[in-house]
Amino acid sequence: MEAVYTQGIWMAESLQQRTISQEKMWLIVTHIGDPKAAFLLVFPFTYFISKRAGVAVLWVAAISEWLNLVFKWMLFGERPFWWIGESGLFVNKQPNVHQFSSTCETGPGSPSGHAMVTAAVWWVVVSSLGSSLYLRTHSVVLSAAPYLLYVVMLVAVGISRIFILAHFPHQVIAGSITGFILGMVLSRRVPEGRPLLFFFSFSIGLLLGTLMLHAGLQQLGIDLSWSITLAKKWCSRAEWVRLDSAPFSSLTRDCGALLGLGLAQYWKPGGYSLPWAPRALSLAISSMGLYHVNRLPLPVRPQGLFYGLFFVKFVIVPQIVMVLVPGLCVAPMRNSHSRPHDSSLP
């Protein structure tokens, strides 16, 4: 693997030197490809266009990110920003590369979570959009356009991850292929309308099962915190190593979102269908709400409290999008405008 890693470093160096003027663009792209964006950006946007597609996005995002965590624990992939120093191969000739605020993620590197979750989630979006376009226009060209954009997005996210030294090229390719397969498989098995007990059992089962896997691997002498140690050692700035990029943050986000999805479908008010204008208003209000929820500061010590609150934060996300905003804010406003005026009033 040394030859593969070495070639990946020189590729990252060349990419940085050739496209350094597009640094801001690559940082924006890597944020769009962040698994967190699937929950906070793609989910509400998709939900207010198609409810089933929105539920599918949340479901696929949670399962694909959880699987990515398991794969990373099994594959032990290095990350470029720490491998440069750990390998000892660049003593005489150091690569001219730079780290960025999004570089220093603490989980193992293979496969790329950004590429894998982006490929899985956006497959749900483009396949739904492509099918809708074909039904409306019967044009193969128009219905193929979303799939072209899908490929462009995957390539852009992959390049951004290589650019910031977060992943090697083969990790990005592996993540994209795996995510594409997961998107096709999981989008056909969306648990829409399932009872709350299903989501509660599934969420807690994933959480406990992953914790048992972690404990079992540790009993076998496998140190799963090795990547966190290396990230702290080789990151250029200590503040770039964030707890919300740790493997257990991904786990609690996924389990929280799944439980939240079950609660939202259980509590969701029924009996109304919002037209486009209230949907657009719901999307705007939901987006503002999720922005502020995401910015809520969480205590990093003790870590158990942080993970518990992180879990609760993502339980709240589906409640805001599916219940609170359309059910308690927008629908009453719409109903008040649709009531006939009382002719007895002067």
Residues 6 or more apart in contact with residue 294 via CB below 8 angstroms: 36, 40, 313
pLDDT at 341: 44
Pick out the residues of the known binding site: 79, 161
Q: What is the DSSP string of 136-147?
A: HH--HHHHHHHH
Encoded tokens for 132 = 């809708």
State how far the Cα of 147 lies from the Cα of 126, in Å rounded to an integer.
6
Taking the alpha carbons at both ends of the chain, their separation in whole angstroms is 84
Domain ranges of the chain: 2-334
Q: What is the DSSP string of 256-321?
A: HHHHHHHHHHHH---S----HHHHHHHHHHHHHHHHHHHT-----SSHHHHHHHHHHHHHHHHIII
pLDDT at 300: 85
pLDDT at 342: 43
Annotated catalytic sites, by residue?
A: 114, 167
Alpha carbon 50 to its chain's center: 19
Pick out the residues of the known binding site for substrate: 79, 161
Question: Within the chain, which residues score under 50 in pLDDT?
Answer: 271-272, 341-346
Provide the 3-class DSSP secondary structure of residue 61: helix
Encoded tokens for 30 = 């890597």
pLDDT at 44: 94
Q: Does the model's pTM come out above 0.95?
A: no
pLDDT at 209: 94
Element (H, E) at 26: helix 23-32
Q: Is 208 exposed, middle or buried (0-12, 13-18, 19+ CB in 10 A)?
A: exposed
**Hunting for tokens 């002719």 — which residue is that?**
343
pLDDT at 276: 82
Are the C-beta atoms of 321 and 44 separated by less than 8 Å? yes
CA-closest candidate to residue 77, choices 270, 231, 191: 231
